[in-house]
Amino acid sequence: MKDGGNNMLSKEEMIRKDNEYIVRGWGKVGEPMYLVEGKGPMVKDIDGKEYLDCSSGLFSNNAGHCHPKIVQAIKDQAEKLIQPSMRHSNIPAVELAEKLAQIAPGDLKKVIFTTGGGETTEMALKLARGYTGKWEIIALRNAFHGLGFGSIALTSGAKYKKDFGPVMPGVVRAPHAYCYRCPFKYPECDLWCADEIGRIAEDKGLSASHNGQIGSVIIEPIQGSGGIVPPEGWLTRVREICDKYGLLLIVDEIQTGFGRTGKMFACDHEKVVPDILATSKNVGGSLPAGAVITTEKLIDDFNPGTTPTLAGNAVACAAGLALINTLIEEKLVENAAAMGKRLTEGILNMSTSKYVGQVRYKGLMGSIEFVLDKKTKEPMPKKDVNWILGRLAEEGILTSASGPCGNSFRVQPTLDINKDQIDMIVNTFDKILREYDK
């Protein structure tokens, strides 16, 4: 690896420089692992070892790493115009906004460009407050909506906030649809967690109270932390509750959007149309970008104040447009649906499936929750989870684990993955769990 001149850097020198200069949320150095190439679902490290990337660049490479159509779109646009001001606009931004309006659910057609997920959440929050005139919002347990000073308040979990308080007031916390560990025993509960949102709106909730200023609800149709997939009908029920109580529904599709769930957006599975759709990760075809998509009614009197400097970047918009066209032309959305089913069936049929508490997927969005005992649902300990993650990396598979118990493996590869690669994931898990069993 070359430094700023023409000298080659050793891996050890890269680690030293990384420790000296870079700050990240996962410790001093990533794995440590330095990736230098990517193609489709595969990446290669500085030592030349190949890995199947089941984190998809933190789920922002839905069409695969360095897809040639996206790379070509980036090259073509970079030779013309890279960064104009959105005061003046640019052709890729207009074309991408039109395409987003075409693929978004229902009457969502007005696009506010941002530069990333947290910023998208902040903009959605401003829009909701501005329209309703109310400063309280219902968010769910285990939610992740970003780490800015507005979005971090919506994000659940003390670990994100303990050193930065007080965070933005006005967030009212409702239960999430974690059916595997539901205290009310789904399906007998009849979606108690969704109905609790309505009870909170009436100020009769068991889980939270408020100040009479609730104007909106924000949810992930599938929670990214732990890959928690709500049961069928949950999203529809939440939409009905919002309509009943006059609340805006913000759906955060930052992770679930652009084909990952086997539909273009997760909302499409139940034909639910939110009032505000928050998107990012794949909006810029793997380049930094995001977008809030909403209705003409909500945007009519809204003034965001200004536009983020790099929002609507011409190269990112060209890449995002190429990504959407690639998803459609190469049927990667349909492939995500098929490969998600194959992954689920494969994991459930492993010889070591006694450790599988639950496999929950829509398309390639979800997770595998490992337990020590299926009957008691005792979570696999964190030290064991970390051992498995390490062995997976040794065997050429990169993934992560998260969730309320920290034992849910987020196996979410790029959407161009094939059957053989899915089977490789399953067989590798089975092999490692057999080692663990001994």
CATH number at residue 404: 3.90.1150.10
Spatial separation of the C-alpha atoms in residues 129 and 136, rounded to whole Å: 8
Q: Are residues 286 and 309 in the same domain?
A: yes
Q: Are residues 211 and 293 in the same domain?
A: yes
Residue 406: domain span? 33-63+332-437
Spatial separation of the C-alpha atoms in residues 295 and 270, rounded to whole Å: 19
Q: Are residues 310 and 345 in the same domain?
A: no
pLDDT of residue 6: 47
Q: Are residues 236 and 382 in the same domain?
A: no
Structure tokens at 86: 């959105």
> Which mean pLDDT values do the consecutive 10-residue runs of the chain (438 residues) have?
59 84 71 86 94 96 98 98 90 98 97 95 96 97 93 92 89 96 90 96 92 97 97 98 98 98 98 98 97 96 84 97 98 98 98 97 98 97 96 96 96 98 98 95
**Identity of the amino acid at 343:** L
Q: Are residues 379 and 313 in the same domain?
A: no
Q: Are residues 201 and 270 in the same domain?
A: yes
Spatial separation of the C-alpha atoms in residues 260 and 254, rounded to whole Å: 10
Within a domain: 79: yes
Within a domain: 3: no
Last residue of a domain, one of 329, 357, 385: 329
Within a domain: 198: yes
Tally of structural domains, the chain: 2
Q: What is the 3-state secondary structure (H, E, C) of the chain?
A: CECCCCCECCHHHHHHHHHHHCCCCCCCCCCCCCEEEEEECEEEECCCCEEEECCHHHHCCCCCECCHHHHHHHHHHHCCCCCCCCCCCCHHHHHHHHHHHHHCCCCCCEEEEECCHHHHHHHHHHHHHHHHCCCEEEEECCCCCCCCCCHHHHCCCHHHCCCCCCCCCCEEEECCCCHHHCCCCCCCCCCHHHHHHHHHHCCCCCCCCCCCCEEEEEECCCECCCCECCCCCHHHHHHHHHHHHCCEEEEECCCCCCCCCCCCCHHHHCCCCCCEEEECCCCECCECCEEEEECHHHHCCCCCCCCCCCCCCHHHHHHHHHHHHHHHHCCHHHHHHHHHHHHHHHHHCCCCHHHEEEEEEECCEEEEEEEEECCCCEECCHHHHHHHHHHHHHCCEECCEECCCCCEECCCCCCCCCHHHHHHHHHHHHHHHHHHHC
